[in-house]
Amino acid sequence: MQRLLSLLCCLALLALGAVPGQAQQQSGPLRIEITEGVIEPLPFALPSFVAETAGAQDLADQISRVVAADLVGTGLFREIPQTAFISSLTSFASPVQFADWRAINAQALIAGAVALGSGGRLTVKFRLYDVFAGQEMGDGLQFDGTQEGWRRMAHKVADVVYSRITGEGPYFDSRVVFVAETGTKGERKKRLAIMDYDGFGASYLTDSATIVLAPRFSPTGDRVLYTSYETGFPRIYLLDVANVGRRELPIPAGEMAFSPRFSPDARTVVFSLTQGGNTDIWRMDLNGANPQRLTNAPSIETAPSFSPDGSQIVFESDRSGTQQLYIMPATGGEARRISFGQGRYGSPVWSPRGDLIAFTKQSKGRFHIGVMRLDGSEERLLTASFLDESPSWAPNGRVIMFTRETQGAGGMASLYSVDISGRNLKRVRTETGASDPAWSPLLP
Amino acid sequence: MNTGHVISGAGHIGLIGWLFFGANFAPTPEPFQVNEVAMISGAEFEAMLAGTTPPEAVTDMVLPVPPETPPPPQPAPAVSPPPAAVPAPAPSPVPSPEQPPVPPAAQPMPPSDVQDAPPQIAPPPQEQAVLAPDISDRPSPRPAPRVAPEPVATPEPDTKVDDIVQEAATPAPSPDPAQQKQEATAPEAATTEIVTEAAEKPSAAPVSSVRPRARPNRPEATETTEAVAQPQPQAEAPAPDTTRDAVQDALQQAMADAAATADAAQPAYSGPPISAGERDALRVAVQKCWNVGSLSTDALRTTVVVSVSMTEDGKPVVPSIRMRSFSGGSQASAQQAFDSARRAIIRCGTRGYDLPAEKYALWQEIEMTFNPEKMRIK
């Protein structure tokens, strides 16, 4: 009743005097608030880069295609086909006719040029334009390198464009180490392999004589820790990517050592060690000095991963009776549980940004890749399939690569990537079966 | 007070009295229904047991058999065409790698071997049916690459993307030669929220739910606070309330009506305000072009206030677009957010915003606050 009365009062007031009041109040600019927008790929135009020297046209075309593929592959951009272009860029220095690009709704324009110098030196330069604002976004950039490194230069260009438009950190100029799998499920051969983030330029790091598992890049990207059954039992090895040299880490005595990961300063390594049937998390210097047991429980503790600042470690444990995620200080100590949802949580990985933890979740017969905050809140499942596991973060913390294995005797593992929004789930190109991806930091 | 005591006392006395003397006033019990019990002799009892035991023995012995014995006659004809034997119990494909050897062996095998197959085959089809979408390594298709406040169905393949929906038309052969050919146009397909693979059903059917829309005609707080605060001093609970919504609706309607009346009464401009509807039309026009899909997660936490000068035909003056302030993010993320806002203002203003020309003085300068809170990755 009271409410009805107040409503009537309001209506009466409005009818009598509110309108003049409003007119008087609107003395400044008209103010509106936009709270809803659209989420769609941003259309961009990328005319083939101009070849400034003879013989550079093929490279210019290839570099343009790689740049476009990088951007489109994020799911955040859409390339406008060249057949729709109204005007063309014949010279890197020629002025841009923005009206022509606006007419085809290009919101960003990438203009570039390629020159092939003496001694096979390659120069790639580009400019990025905001078409509707009619101005350049940042300054033009130029990269110099060898002709063989043209793909990396293309990735560099795409990285800059991506960062300038989105504000995210770059990640195209990075590599992925993974386990290449061949053969049938019963007789599967596994080898360590490395490739560009987009699946190109793959090469093997080990032979297929022994089973290898779970490679992990060092923070500098030049070394890889992995687990191998070379001695018949799982042991941890350190591999130099440049010369493929490797050595076994001097782990304290135990039946099994596995699941290694570098600390952010690359000086220490954490891993799981099984002694007397009990598995705990250990930490030691890379040269084997100062081994320290971080957990001491009768349950299984494994899959440790450092926070970016090196102060904490997230790991999985079944100490509560079911597999869950915990965070403890990097020097050991009391752990706090962060996962409380239904199902089993495993293989946690701390985001390079430090704000999220990616994990594998098994629930109701299906596997998921998901992310959650450091306190376990805002859990978001990004994928669902017969078997999804082994998440690994892109250097910018925006994309996750993981293993997806199909069902049945003919099932094969392959690599997939997904944006942390859950969009843009796609398969990563590999020539063989692939599992256990580990994303490198951005290359220098 | 006394009346209450009297009533209470009378009630209690009545209750106590009924407890003590109620049995005396109980109705006469209904007559019993007596069933006759026949007595039987020991010999008759033995005979009866002898008559009942065999059926039990039969059920014990036969029960397991009948479910298994009837199937053999059924599979038996199915065995003769070996390929048909397996599909009969399990219509879904891929029985299992172990099954294929059975059908060829089924011909010489006695039917008993076939009997074991049906119960084993029966469960797998259920699992396979559930997991079938996962076998495909092709990711389930997303409902639509565009997420917008309002869902839009996928247009016909040849339809040109445009804000206006119109049918295709070809000029009539003779009557009106001036009529031009018209392309079919429709807005681009859109869904209302990001649907992750995990959120989809196992059948991989696209699923979407409507994003709760902000109330379109909510009046500006600065303009309505005074009018609302006095007659309604009690603070309303922040929780959604249908009554409150009704009040808001009524207020908006009243404001719109009042503004319309004012417009009608004052044909020449003398300070009529921008109506809520006009304000909303502008807001909707801008938000259609505000694409936050390519913004970083930090930029999606940044609110920017952008000012823009307008020409009399409703077009934004591009060089005048400036960021007045920002909150919730770094300078870099604010720049990304501003770039996105500027693109939105320019893109959707190329044809001129639909604003009342007679009120140009009121919208010559516009200040837009772009708040991406609802568009964040959640």
Which DSSP string corresponds to B87-151?
A: TTT--SS---TTTTTHHHHHTTS-HHHHHHHHHHHSHHHHHHHHHHHHHS-SPPPPS-S-B-SS-
Contact A108/A131 with Cβ under 8 angstroms?
A: yes
Contact B199 A416 (CB under 8 A): no
**Chain B: residue whose CA lies nearest to A362:** B198
User: In chain B, what residues touch A3 (CB-CB under 8 Å)?
Assistant: 243, 247
Residues of A within 8 A of B258 (CB-CB) are 14-15, 18-19
Q: What residues 269-328 of chain A have any CB closer than 8 A to a CB of chain B?
A: none
Per-residue pLDDT of chain B (378 residues; tens, 9 = 90+): 578 888 988 889 888 888 777 656 555 555 555 555 666 677 776 666 554 443 333 333 333 333 333 343 333 333 333 333 333 333 334 333 334 333 333 333 333 333 433 334 344 333 333 333 334 445 544 556 677 777 777 767 666 666 666 666 665 555 555 556 666 767 677 777 777 787 776 555 544 455 566 666 665 544 433 433 344 434 344 444 555 556 566 666 655 554 444 444 444 456 678 899 999 999 999 999 999 988 888 899 999 999 999 999 999 999 999 999 999 989 999 999 999 999 999 999 988 999 999 899 999 999 999 999 888 766
Q: Which of A15-19, A400-404, B20-24, B174-178 shows the lowest mean pLDDT across its residues?
A: A15-19
CB-CB under 8 Å, A132 with B343: yes
For B257, what's the count of Cα atoms within 13 Å in the CB-facing half-sphere?
11
Q: Which domain holds residue B194?
A: 144-150+186-212
* pLDDT exceeds cutoff 60 at A329: yes
Question: What is the average per-residue pLDDT within A105-116?
Answer: 95
Q: Are residues B302 and B205 in the same domain?
A: no
Task: Provide φ and ψ at B134, rounded to 5°.
Answer: -75, -20
Looking at residue B134, what is its pLDDT? Answer: 39
What's the CA angle centered on B59, arms B58 and B65, to 5 degrees?
Answer: 95
Residue B300 domain-assigned? Answer: yes
Residue keyed to tokens 């960003």: A108
CB-nearest to B139 from A25, A386, A425 is A425
Question: What's the pLDDT tens digit per position in A416-444?
Answer: 999 999 989 999 999 999 999 999 999 98
Cβ pair B198:A408 closer than 8 A: no
**Residue B109 forms part of a structural domain:** no
Q: List, for residues A35-70, the tens digit of each pLDDT value.
A: 998 999 999 999 999 999 988 999 999 999 999 999
Nearest to B223 among A22, A33, A137 (CB): A22
User: Where exactly are the structural domains of chain A?
Assistant: 42-166, 175-439
Pull the structure tokens for residue B108. Answer: 């010489």
Contact B272 A23 (CB under 8 A): yes
Domain count of the fold of chain B: 2
Please indicate if any CB of chain B lies within 8 Å of the CB of A443.
Answer: no
Place of tokens 């978001």: A380
| A135-136 and A175-182 strand pairing | unpaired
- Nearest by Cα to A87 from A65, A104, A75, A71: A104
- Contact flag B196-A381 (C-beta cutoff 8 Å): yes
Nearest CA among A331, A300, A293, A329 for reference residue A316: A300
* Section A383-409 average pLDDT: 94
Q: Which chain B residues have a beta carbon less than 8 Å from that of A167?
A: 295-296, 298-299, 332-333, 335-336
The whole-angstrom distance between A152's CA and the closest CA on chain B is 23
User: What distance in Å separates the CA atoms of residue A437 and residue A423, rounded to the nearest whole number?
Assistant: 20
If contacts are CB pairs under 8 Å, which of residues 355-394 in chain A contact chain B? 365-366, 368, 370, 378, 380-386
What ranges make up the beta strands (E) of A90-242?
A: 108-116, 121-130, 135-136, 141-146, 175-182, 189-196, 203-204, 212-217, 223-228, 235-240
Contact B210, B192 (CB under 8 A): yes
Q: Does residue B356 lie in a domain region?
A: yes
CB A347 within 8 A of CB A401: no
Task: With respect to residue B68, please indicate whether it lies within any of the assigned structural domains.
Answer: no
Give the chain B residue whose CA is nearest to the CA of A167. B296
Please give the CATH topology (third level) of the domain spanning A175-439.
Neuraminidase (2.120.10)
Residue A26 has a pLDDT of 59
Angle (CA) A385-B145-A102 rounded to 5° is: 155
In a domain, B336, yes or no: yes
Of A143, A164, A162, give the one whose Cα is nearest residue A153.
A143
Domain boundary among B158, B177, B212: B212
- Nearest CA-CA partner of A304 in A289, A284, A275, A322: A284
Query: Is B327 within the bounds of a domain?
Result: yes
Mean pLDDT lowest among A71-75, A147-151, B35-39, B140-144: B140-144
Contact B251 A36 (CB under 8 A): no
> Which of the residue ranges A237-246, A392-401, B168-177, B335-344 would you say has the lowest mean pLDDT?
B168-177
Does a structural domain hold residue B339? yes
Segment holding A260, helix H or strand E: strand A256-262
- Residues 6 or more apart whose Cβ sits within 8 Å of residue A125: A92, A112, A113, A140, A141, A142, A143
- A42-166 falls under which CATH superfamily? TolB, N-terminal domain (3.40.50.10070)
Separation CA B328–CA B112 (nearest Å): 74
Instruction: Specify if B163 maps to a domain.
Output: no
* ipTM surpasses cut 0.90: no
- Give pTM, 2 decimals: 0.70
| pLDDT for the residue numbered B371 | 94
**pLDDT, average across residues A85-94:** 90
d(CA B110, CA B91): 23
Contact with chain B for residue A130, Cβ under 8 A? yes
Question: In chain B, what residues touch A404 (CB-CB under 8 Å)?
Answer: 137
Chain A residue nearest residue B247, CA to CA: A7
Looking at beta carbons, which residues of chain A come within 8 Å of B341? 34
Tell me the chain B residues in contact with residue A130 when contact means C-beta distances shorter than 8 Å: 339, 342-343
